[in-house]
Structure 1
């Protein structure tokens, strides 16, 4: 599955994952109103990945199939501490 990753112009460290061929008109209006103008970061082939750095790949695939998007919020201070410790 190919997906596209966009970063938010309004929300730092917030990313939106969508299937590659997604039309932003199909996404929830509320999401797009708080999101701002999306800026493309990259396209990613999830079939060639077993894991991602900050996102559970199975949860990502499930959300893309069920909801048509996945919103990655910035990690909390506790989550950052755990990442640094390698947990």
Structure 2
């Protein structure tokens, strides 16, 4: 399976995998509106032994087969960086 990866120019660290190049019609209109313009970044062969940096390749392949696209959201922070003690007594 082949995937074409685009980054959202409106939402940082948000990527869309499509099963066909420039097949933006696969995305529901409300989603397209929220993502804004998409910029092509990569085409990749999703072979069974392929590893991806932040996504489960089996999940990506399943979503591409079922609906023609997969969304990759920014990584979640493990902890709120503002909640730690910074050593000030303010």
> Do these two structures clear the TM 0.5 threshold for a shared fold by scoring above it?
yes
Q: Flag structure 1 segments of 5+ consecutive residues without an equivalent.
A: 80-87
CA distance in 2, matches of 1:49, 1:35: 30
Separation (CA, whole Å) in 1 of partners of 2:50 and 2:37: 30
Q: CA RMSD in A?
A: 1.8
- How many positions carry a matched residue from both structures? 79
Deviates more, 1:33-42 or 1:15-24: 15-24
Give per-residue Cα distances to partners, 1:18-60, cap 9 Å, x unaligned.
Answer: 1134521232101100011100011001127432110000011
Corresponding position of 2:3: 3
Matches within 5 A, 1:7-86: 7-21=7-21, 23-47=23-47, 49-78=49-78
Greater helix fraction, Structure 1 or Structure 2: 1
In 1: Cα distance, 2:37 partner to 2:21 partner: 18
CA distance in 2 between partners of 1:26 and 1:78 (Å): 32
Runs of at least 4 residues off by over 6 Å: none
TM (normalized to structure 1)?
0.81
Deviation at 1:7, TM superposition (A): 0.2
SS in 2 for 1:50: coil
Larger radius of gyration: 2
- Unaligned 5+ runs, structure 2: 80-90
